[in-house]
Structure 1
């Protein structure tokens, strides 16, 4: 049995030893040359006459996804907002989203003056549960906005069936799922509109902020183009500056487009290498009792943007100890070993003050969204450190860190018992109304 680092043993991951192999994004000389190409060309905005990088990225991403069109925008949140706006969603409308996701999904709905309505996630995939969606549908529901959380596509056929029955649009939040597939089709081609983020933390990054919208609909493309550029129609030649409807500035810059185009040439190879390395890691972790690795249904593939690991205290001989306490204890032990785990989301979206309905108590939230609360309380995540294909060399060290922790579950149990039973409610100071 190896001595834990927190007790003076040697860490599983040497200090600083993983930094070079876990940097993300990987910036190559080709990426730098793409940026210099724009800087030297002098066309530094998407509306500059003769600018080619943004339309080229749109063509290339549409081809990669398998859709007819792509509209490049300024961020992943802007992609969601523009996509919903292109559908005409606004005041009085409701949009169903999962209770567990990045808060940007809900913010985009609010920015359209619509109302986000939450449904619980499926406990085994962490994506919007099709069985829970009908419970929250009303006469005001206008769209479903499933999130391919962490890189795994949601159950799109089941959601599409519900949407068709209610004449609802389905918009994909694929911000974390570049290149993932569902029944042979790529994310972004599974709804009426698909939305991606190009944040530097994402699997397909840019050198700043950016987003992409995909669709097969010509009219929706035209509506999105107008919304991203002050309500103006795409000019045949010279820009007219005539606003034909509401809009704003959600344009992507040519520098960011050029950088992403260069990154896109390596996306398939990076995705393949990452899948092999992560699969090997999860094979080792799956052998540890009480540690649930992500499940990937046979009809889809995972982009592995984030790796979430669920804890089952009963299988770790910790029955009666709150999952949040077990998580905090393991977080302490694993971080000492050099394994960069984090909690990531700390509360379900319906609990956020920005989104919580006035009549919804914290007790209501726990009752209505049990799977989301369970995942938040009792799981740990690996983020970014596995995106670099060179991380295949360090992931075995992460696995060893977990194995060391499991060799000392007695100590983990003692630490967990000392943690108390606080869960996500402890992050709020305005009381359990």
Structure 2
């Protein structure tokens, strides 16, 4: 293992810890995955609106429902569509408000706007990065009809407290678990709390497909049946009769296809193994970094099991690089990490309500999300490289990188002049 403190910084001409930025090697496609996809190609049964035998989509729906311990699972075209159809199935639409976190991927709020409702933004917890029950309660109004807690980066929000708050105000809860396959909350898998929950199968996720896909899970047959109808032009597709091409409501073409489903089902057979290896690898990585001055590592509250989809680190930049303005300090730090071979990214460059596409729709005052803004300003993330089960050695090299940069913080601070954000 490299001495993380040895040698000068690569940003200043020293030898880097890693010769280049670590490449993305996720998802891992095996011979079994290829065989599953080939079986669908050989069957010539590519879409899920056909009858006559169980399709790969139905097999995945059954397997994921069984994995979570829920009654129903419905496959759809992607995670954003999953949120949209769940909102519609719960009767959310024009004139309604939906509470979403101020820090999450843009799809959470866009799904709300796509059904004609208005997103209202709640601030987050500074340690878990997830929305809190108090944050939700602070922005609920008489127009609020739903709350979408996001299990961000693979860590569950405090879903019991949020659900209790939402129900007390007459609001439905739709969990955005796009990044949280495998996460556990007080012994219950994310998505199995009793609320409707949505997942993404996009290829970067912990449980991926070979492209895009989404799943909606619920114990409510009425909601599940509604989503099945909505994903197929409002039609009733039944296995005991030919397709009739009669639309009973305004629906969508939002189906998951059998190739994608077969790929994910094959991945699911290794999911528990990959999840366990990831947790071990990340734990060993974070153990080396927790005592670095001014670095706040992602953590796992008691009673929670993190899926570690994204690793976000918050830095006390004033402590690490004193006197350097925040934007310049963050930029300099990330350049130093990347020069050593660690592909640090910001992921979100602004809080969600400041996204240009959403700003004009926001009725709240700017600056109403100080915690989320502070996290965005002072953090960097690691994505995808830690997901494979054999990523342990790479993560140890990443720990060498971080230790080296921290050991040379004084030299880095002196180089700050002239750096632009």
Q: If the length of structure 1 is used for normalisation, what is the TM-score?
A: 0.92
Partner secondary structure for residue 15 of structure 2: coil
How far residue 102 of structure 1 moved from its aligned partner, in angstroms, is: 0.4
**Which SS does the other structure have where 1:339 is aligned?**
coil
Offset at 1:222?
0.6
Choose which of 229, 248, 252 in structure 2 pairs with 1:226: 229
Counting matched residue pairs gives 414
Q: Aligned partners of 2:358 and 2:181: how far apart in 1?
A: 27
Moved more, 324-333 or 136-145: 324-333
Of 17, 21, 35, which residue of structure 2 is paired with 1:12?
A: 17
Deviates more, 1:44-53 or 1:241-250: 44-53
> Are the equivalent residues in 2 in contact too, given 1:286–1:292 (CA < 8 A)?
yes
Match of 1:166 in 2: 169
Correspondences of 1:175-324 after superposition (within 5 Å)? 175-235=178-238, 236-316=240-320, 318=322, 320-324=323-327
Q: C-alpha distance in 1, partners of 2:321/2:386?
A: 30
- Distance in 2 separating the partners of 1:353 and 1:37: 44
Query: What are the equivalent positions in structure 2 for 1:16-27 lying under 5 Å apart?
Result: 18-19=22-23, 22-27=24-29
Distance 2:86 2:69 in 1: 18
Q: Aligned equivalents of 1:360 and 1:166: distance in 2?
A: 20
In structure 2, what is the equivalent of residue 38 of structure 1?
Answer: 40
Q: In structure 2, what is the equivalent of residue 378 of structure 1?
A: 378
Unaligned residue ranges in structure 1 (runs of 5+) = 423-433
Find the residue that maps to 2:174 and give its secondary structure: strand
Deviation at 1:345, TM superposition (A): 0.5
Structure 2 unpaired stretches of 5+: 1-5
- The aligned residue for residue 425 of structure 1 is none
Superposed displacement of residue 404, structure 1 = 0.8
Q: How much does 1:371 deviate? A: 0.8
Matched position secondary structure for 1:126: coil
Q: How far apart are the structure 2 equivalents of 1:98 and 1:155?
A: 13
Partner-residue secondary structure (3-state), 2:104? coil
Equivalent pair of 2:118/2:361 in contact (CA under 8 Å):
no
- Secondary structure at the residue paired with 2:197? strand
2:75 is aligned to: 72
Deviation of the 1:190 alpha carbon? 2.1
Change (3 A) 1:353 1:6: closer
Q: State how far apart, in whole Å, the 2-side matches of 1:29 and 1:359 are.
A: 48
1:137-194 CA-partner distances (Å, limit 9, x unpaired):
1111011001001000001111011112111111110000001000100111125211
Whether 2:88 is the aligned partner of 1:85: answer: yes
Aligned with 1:344 (options 336, 341, 347) = 347
Equivalent pair of 1:226/1:247 in contact (CA under 8 Å): yes
Aligned to 2:366: 365
Equivalent residue for 1:140? 143
Query: Following the alignment from structure 2 to structure 1, what is the Cα–Cα distance between the partners of residues 358 and 170?
Result: 26
Aligned equivalents of 1:85, 1:308: Cα separation in 2: 32
The CA deviation string for residues 64-115 of structure 1, in whole angstroms up to 9 with x for no partner, is 1111000000000010001111101101111100011000001111111111
Shift of 1:322: 3.3
Cα deviation code 1:191-220 (max 9, x no counterpart): 521100000000000011100000000100
Alignment-derived partner of residue 427 in structure 1 = none
Report the TM-score when normalising by structure 2: 0.95
Q: Distance in 1 between matches of 2:334 and 2:226?
A: 46
Q: 1:267: how far off? A: 0.7
CA RMSD, aligned part only?
Answer: 1.6
Q: Do the aligned partners of residues 314 and 15 (structure 1) sit closer, same or farther apart at CA in structure 2, a change above 3 Å counting?
A: closer
**How far, CA to CA, are the matches of 1:281 and 1:326 in structure 2?**
24
Give the corresponding residue for 1:47: 49
Contact 1:170 1:191 in 2 (8 A): no
User: Relative contact order (C-alpha < 8 Å, sep 6+): which is higher?
Assistant: 2
Counterpart position of 1:409: 409
* Higher mean displacement: 303-312 or 237-246: 237-246
**Partner Cα separation in structure 1 for residue 236 and residue 192 of structure 2:** 25
